[in-house]
Amino acid sequence: MAFGDDPSVIELAGHLPGLPPDTVERRVLTFGSGAAALRVAVPVLDAEQVERVAATVRAAARGYLKTLPTAHIVAVIDAAIQRLLDREDPWRRKAERLLPVVTGYDPEMVRLGLTGYLKTFRAHELRRFLAEDFANPLVLDEFQPAPKGGFTRAFGPDLLLHVWAGNVPGLPLWSLISGLLVKSGTVGKLPSAEPLFAGWFAQLLAEIDPRLGECLAVVWWKGGDAAAERAWLAQADTVVAYGGNAALAAIRDRVPVTTRFLPYGHKISFALVSRAALDPRRSGETARLAAHDIARYDQQGCYSPQTLFVERGGRLSPQDFAAMLAHELAVQARKHPRRVLSMAEAGEVAGWRDGQAMRGLDGSGHLLLSDPAGGWCVSCIDAPDGLAPTALNRTISVVAVDDLAEVAGRVAPHRAVLQTAGIAAPPEELFRLAGPLGAAGVTRLCALGSMTAPEAGWHHDGRFNLLDLVTVTEIERSAEALAEGLARYAD
């Protein structure tokens, strides 16, 4: 019997320390269809169970996680990551098998994406992550001398709540691991669009270190369920939330005023292609890199480009580049086909394409290249356009510019939503452009082709992602001085 045919085959999502499994009510979410369909049972907790899980996590974190040296936590996470990088490991095999069904992404894309992503959480990368935010990461373990005098130590919250969103496989790992590194008792709310990976990771950690497994829970409630949300928000000391502005505003309104709230809203990213990258030798590779960024996870990530600003004056024109990009997207469509779109998404793509086609009718040099089957669409614009959201799902605007220096001004009106700028330009230009782009609100400049793979220790949306979580306790010099006088060996 093929997997999925058997109604008894059901994947249990989440991780609930302190609750006997048979006491938990579950709701079934179905992904895919036909023989390939997958049923995922997500937990639905009542108010008392919420309290019980929160109390368990809080107590376990206090009794164990907070007593561990950071190096030990790094070692346990590394052990879990090594397991997930091993393609023969049962967890990894399960991830490769089920994540494509749940997210709809091409299996090969998921496999390659997972490996690239998980590598950024190996021990040496986690140490980099810590060093990015803490000049001396030992402040997480004990009081460390401060340059101004006295001593400081950083404490993570007792209970950190993550409200995750989106369907990029494994995305919750960033914040989940951040919380563990600062020794927080951790509760994460699964995104309904990918409700598996975070729970698996928690279970895997529990397998490696059962006591650590008690220090984190992975739960679910239906997005917008105010009662369930309130129950959890009341438990948390700090809340990290991802999603659209409306969802974040709703959460913010329910967060108690004494609770720290760290929202990560929707972002828009774009890319810049210098004329230096458009000569006969380099242009093919440039188009390949751009197509990779566009196709990976069908632009569902905040770091995915929606507009490419392409400089005029190269040996290949922006129109030439658009044609090469179209071919590379066709190649991607064969290698990693786009996932099946929902009716709403397909409608958005068609609407966007029609809108772009209309622009072509005025003879303004507008060029629309698209796959007859609708798997991708390139709109090449010869007008002074700025940044405009596309319909995602491999739809992209190529905007011709005389000089890449114009781009910062064109994106500046969108400051609040800017995130990544992928860039293909020579060194002098890279640094000449970086200042104005940063000032305009861009928080990450990376190579074209690397937009969907942030490096280890990156500062998500320009924030210090670990530092934002902790509070610092200082022993002032006065206390130290007074203590000296009180020592039993004081003269």
Partner 1 sequence: MDFQGKAILVTGAGRGIGAAIARAFAAEGAMVVVNYLRNQQAAEAVAAKCRALGGDGLPLRADVTDAAAVAGMVETVVAEFGGLDVVVNNAFAPYVFDPDRRRLFWETEWDDYQTQIDGALKSTHAVCRAVLPALRRRGGGSIVNMATDLVARPTVPYHDYTTAKAALIGFSRTLAAELGPFGIRVNCVAPGLVYPTDASRSTPEPVKDRITALTPLGRIAAPKDVAGPVLFLASDWSRFVTGQTLTVDGGLVMGGL
**Site residues, partner 1 (CB under 8 A):** 283-284, 287, 323-324, 326-328, 330, 367, 369-371
Nearer to partner 1, 21 or 280 (CB): 280
Nearer to partner 1, 231 or 396 (CB): 396
Nearest Cα to Cα of residue 273 among 142, 481, 69, 421 = 421
Nearer to partner 1, 349 or 421 (CB): 349
* CB-based contacts of 361, cutoff 8 Å, min separation 6: none
What are the φ/ψ torsions at residue 283 (nearest 5 degrees)? -65, -35
Strand partners, 263: 241
User: Amino acid identity of 428?
Assistant: E
User: Amino acid identity of 364?
Assistant: S
CB of 395 to partner 1, least distance (A): 14
CB of 101 to partner 1, least distance (A): 29
CB of 287 to partner 1, least distance (A): 7
Nearer to partner 1, 45 or 323 (CB): 323
Nearer to partner 1, 287 or 401 (CB): 287
Contact criterion met (CB below 8 Å) for 439 and 289: no
Nearer to partner 1, 231 or 273 (CB): 273
Handedness of CA 125, 130, 133, 137 (dihedral sign): negative
CB of 400 to partner 1, least distance (A): 15
CB of 283 to partner 1, least distance (A): 8
Q: Is 323 helix (H, G, I), strand (E, B) or coil?
A: helix
Nearer to partner 1, 250 or 331 (CB): 331
> Residue 300 and residue 309: Cα distance in Å, rounded?
20
Nearer to partner 1, 256 or 284 (CB): 284
Only one residue has tokens 């179209």, namely 326
CB of 372 to partner 1, least distance (A): 9
Q: What DSSP letter does each residue of 205-217 carry, written as one string?
A: HHHH-HHHHTTEE
Contact criterion met (CB below 8 Å) for 393 and 424: no
CB of 53 to partner 1, least distance (A): 53
> Residue 463 and residue 457: Cα distance in Å, rounded?
11
Contact criterion met (CB below 8 Å) for 410 and 396: no
CB of 350 to partner 1, least distance (A): 17
Question: DSSP strand E in 371-490: where?
Answer: 377-381, 395-401, 418-424, 444-447, 471-475
Please classify residue 340 by burial: count the beta carbons closer than 10 Å to its beta carbon, then call 0-12 exposed, 13-18 middle and 19+ buried: exposed
User: Amino acid identity of 159?
Assistant: L
